[in-house]
Amino acid sequence: FSYWTKLGIPVYKPVVPFGNFGPIIMKNTGVLPEITKLYKAFEGHRLGGLYGFGYKFLLVREPDLIRDIIVKDFIHFHDRGVFMSEGGDPLDLHLFSMTGAKWRKLRVKLTPTFTSGKMKMMFGTLVDCGKGLNAVLQKSAKMGETLEVKDILARFSTDVIASCAFGIQCNCLRNPNAEFRTWGRKVFETTFKTKIFRLLNIIIPGFIKYFGIGGLYRFTNPSLLVRDTDIMKDILVKDFKNYFARGLKFDEESEPLNGHLFSISGPKWRNLRVKMTPIFTSGKIKTMFGSVVECGKELHTSLQKIVRNGETIEVKDFLARYTAWYLYFKISYSYWEKRGIPTLKPKAPFGNFRDSILLGRNPGFEITELYKAFDGHRVGGVYRLSGPSLLLRDTEIIKDILVKDFDHFFSRGRVVDEKYEPLDGHLFALSGTKWRNLRVKLTPVFTTLKIKMMFGTVIECGKELEHFLQEPANNGETIEVKDILARYSTDIIASCAFGIQCNCLKNPDAEFRNWGRKVFEPHFRQRLTSILNILYPSLVYTLKVSLIPKEVSNYFRKMVKETVEYREKNNVERNDFMQLMIQLKNKTLNVAEEEDVKTLQKETDGLKSSNTPFGDWLKFITSRMLDIPFLQLWVTIATILTTVYVYFRVSFLYWKKRGVPTLNPTAPFGDFGKAILTKKSFQQVINEFYNDFDGQRFGGVYSFSSPALLIRDPEIIKAVLVKDFNKFHSHGIITNEEVEPLQGNLFALSGSKWRNLRVKLSPTFTSGKMKMMFGTMVDCGKELQTFLQEPANNKETIEVKDILARFSTDIIASCAFGIQCNCLKNPDAEFRIWGRKIFEPTFSGKILRTITFLLPSSSRFFRSSFLSKGVTDYFMKMVKETVEYREKNDVKRNDFMQLMIQLKNKTLGVAEEDNIKLGNLDADETENNAPFEITVNVIAAQAFVFFLAGFETSSTTMTFCLYELALNPDIQERLRAEIDTVVEKHDGNITYESIFEMEYLDKVVDETLRKYPPATTIRRECTKSVKLHGTDVLVEKGTKLLFPIMAIHHDPKYYPDPERFDPERFSEVEKKKRPHFTYLPFGEGPRICIGMLFLPLLIIHT
């Protein structure tokens, strides 16, 4: 309590142990009266010093000092010093209690909610509550009642806060016991405990903090803060024997790790220090220096990566975690070196199996390389993650382990849980007594006699194979040997092991084979589990992960159970493995046959004297057909992985063989890994391709294993989109209108369906029809103008994109669906809510869209829609009801829906349809030329794609246009002048004709569409093999072509300084300087966007 006195600051005499706050604690004096008393006690002083227990406080009286602290020097005094427990109570996360950066961020977020404009917005609520107060007071005044003003005003305040802050009506003025008020009062109910805690949070917040984590704040033990260096020297050296204890008390029995030099005292400390001192000599430190250097190199590499990525790190935390991580693996990786075993340098945390664990290579290849690396050694030490393993090369050691010392090495190291996965309880996986007991039981099943017994079944299957091969042999056909032998093997195993006839040779899709193939179907989870099962089996056991899919396990268990029950019930016997297992189960296998186990022992003894134990052991197992299913499992997995690897390697040579420049694809994603793994957007990846192929007319890329061409040359783009359109008319989208009726739209369809629908729809998008809908746009425009008037008058800030999205929704809802949804007035209109669900991003949806775009054929596999069933049902129902209502009541409107109804009822003028001219498609694409009927489903699909294409593109383009105008006020002023001039010319009205007189506005829109094109990439699929224009490159049927619109629009070769917004790029003079087909916001050719007239009209009108 002498702190302030030493600093020459006036002090009010404190009382031990409470300091200056004893009356508040002991006499129940209020905080405010006590602070007021202390304020008066320091009269004549600018400030005064106080104590709360051992904490120091300054009471500031002078206004200038208060101003400096609260304003000028705020950065040094921004915290209130109140302890906040984020984890303990979420309601602590408010502005009053938060500190530092968290307070600042929240304050920045909340400030806009307390502007005068927002207060004005809430004032109506205050007025309503005031009327309620007035009514209560009027009633009491008339009755001459005496009121408790504090209570009345408290209830009034509660009503105001409940309404303004929580958005609820609690009516406390009428109902003083309203639930909200009852719970609110509990916040302020004072108990001794809450009073103490609140006071301590002000006086000694550290106590509360430590109390919150279970610690105790000790204010009775005295401590000395030593500042004098001579005294320090005496304590730490001269008088050490009197001060050697740190004063820490730990329980070594409950926590053995507390028995270290830092925590123990007395003789224990002395004895341990004597033992440990030789370990930390300069010589020993020098021996460790090499490890420190290696650690430093690793740290340098990590920091370099962080610096390159521009990341921010917490250095202290980073170094602590890095050091702990490094030391753990460094110690683990010294295991073999300490034992004198040759080893290879492992890489943390994967050991010597980094490539396998990261799924880049087959474990067999890695083990082969390790075998070669230990050439000249009998054994070598390797590491699986941090666990040590021995790789054996010497055949004598192999012999000893597999035979002589078998009792010490009988386990394969697999950890199985038969309760979780019963199919794991087989000879290959079991260990110890379980393996021995099962081996003894099963050995009689695989004697030569039993194998001979099954040989007849093998003969029968062989005859089926001979009969199956006879026809292709007679016809000289080429066959897929591997597939046929796989089906043949399946027939044998199904018959011999399971006792069923599946006839896979005749029926390759037999149920047994389909389920069997699921065991070997390669997928990420199975591959990872297989590798971990080899490298870290205990982890697989802990995670309860099985190599066998659950549904496969259930199928085989059910099949075996039903087979056993059927045979036992009906006394059925067959010469197969299943019958022998049933006999073992029922203990009816002949004892004489069990004596064949002795023969097994003799053969095993003979194996011990073999010079090639591994080879004989393998022959021994093979001859007994021991574990054939599991050997087949591993062989098949290895074969599949090898096949997949070779498949991708061969696939990735496609463009190279054809002399097409290409990049470096990576299996399995090809060149689109970053997009598929969501590390970069699809457009970012396409832009990178465009830049990588700089100087080339085109380049070859791969989406998964499928080749695609990225076209850069405008001449080739022109040839594909126009001249050779009949061979590139498809978008490459595979639709399934049965699963998703809304997919039957003009954008998604191909071939004759697209052509027939395009012919039908073209009359609905002529300039005449656009002019017909223009009145609807004008009406919506007036609504927008009215809506914007109020915020403009009040100079409020508005969210332009949201308002334009609602405006676009109103126009499209009116023009396409014929409904008035008034989204400007009601942002939560039903139509808008369902419309937004289409664009709600989800991780799975993003992955599915990317994969389907890159690999359209996968949509057949997924058989799913990007749209939720609710969205589909809503739009289908809405269109159906609209069509039925109009037809029934003879309602007509100037909108797209009316034109579609006319097409459906064949009342649209034929003359207009005759004007349609589309390029002819190849015969193989128009073989289905049946009349195309417009149904309600077709109408719904077209109206839906109208919404899909128009909503996001129009609102986004308009937003970008306004954004650029805000950045370029000179362009904005010039555009405003042109619009005012043209509108004045048309008597102050915006007409369809006036729109086309606004030339500069047209340039502004064109420049916006250049810089921010709605379609950033266009795709086409080759429908008939053809040579690429002006080259010898043959584009085969099914090949995808990509046109990077965004990249072309930002190519300085065509648009100098492409990031600059310059409408004059679209003057007639500038347009002539550029090659054709370098401006493609809506595509080009016969498949150009059919609504290309509608979108610019909407944007220009806005």
Q: Which residues are annotated as a binding site for heme?
A: 1089
Nearest to 810 by CA among 1004, 1088, 1101: 1101
Contact 109, 103 (CB under 8 A): no
> Phi and psi dihedrals of 1038, rounded to 5?
95, -10
Long-range (24+ apart) CB contacts under 8 A made by 345-353 are 346/382, 346/383, 349/325, 349/385, 349/386, 350/385, 351/382, 351/383, 351/384, 351/385, 351/386, 351/387, 352/382, 352/383, 352/384, 353/382, 353/383, 353/384, 353/385, 353/531, 353/535
Contact 617, 398 (CB under 8 A): no
The length of the chain, given as a count of residues = 1102
Nearest to 1028 by CA among 704, 699, 654: 699
CA distance 488 to 469: 11
CA distance 259 to 553: 51
DSSP 719: I
Look up tokens 């010490």; give the residue: 408
CA distance 553 to 416: 15
What torsion do the CA atoms of 918, 922, 928, 930 make, to the nearest 10 degrees? 30
- Give counts: helices (H), strands (E), the chain: 50, 10
Contact 774, 1097 (CB under 8 A): yes
Q: At what angle do helices 800-816 and 767-793 cross, to 10 degrees?
A: 150
CA distance 494 to 563: 12
The DSSP string of 441-488 is: HHGGGGSHHHHHHHHHHHHHHHHHHHHHHHHHHHHT----HHHHHHHH
List of residues 6+ apart from 218 with CB closer than 8 A: none
Tokens at 147, concatenated:
């009121």
Count of Cβ atoms closer than 10 Å to residue 941 Cβ: 27
Give the Å distances, CA to CA, from 908 to 166, 749, 913.
Answer: 56, 23, 8
Tokens at 823, concatenated:
């989204």
Tokens at 166, concatenated:
């929580």
Count of Cβ atoms closer than 10 Å to residue 801 Cβ: 15
Strand partners of residue 698: 711
CA distance 169 to 897: 44
Pairing of strands 706-711, 1040-1043: parallel
CA distance 19 to 12: 9
> Phi and psi dihedrals of 380, rounded to 5?
-145, 145
HEC-encoded secondary structure of 930-991: CCCCCCHHHHHHHHHHHHHHHHHHHHHHHHHHHHHHHHCHHHHHHHHHHHHHHHHHCCCCCC
Look up tokens 């810089």; give the residue: 1011
CA distance 348 to 384: 10
Strand partners of residue 1034: 1027
List of residues 6+ apart from 84 with CB closer than 8 A: 92, 93, 97, 98, 99
Residue stretches of the annotated binding site: 1089
H or E stretch including 8? Answer: none
Residue type, 149: V
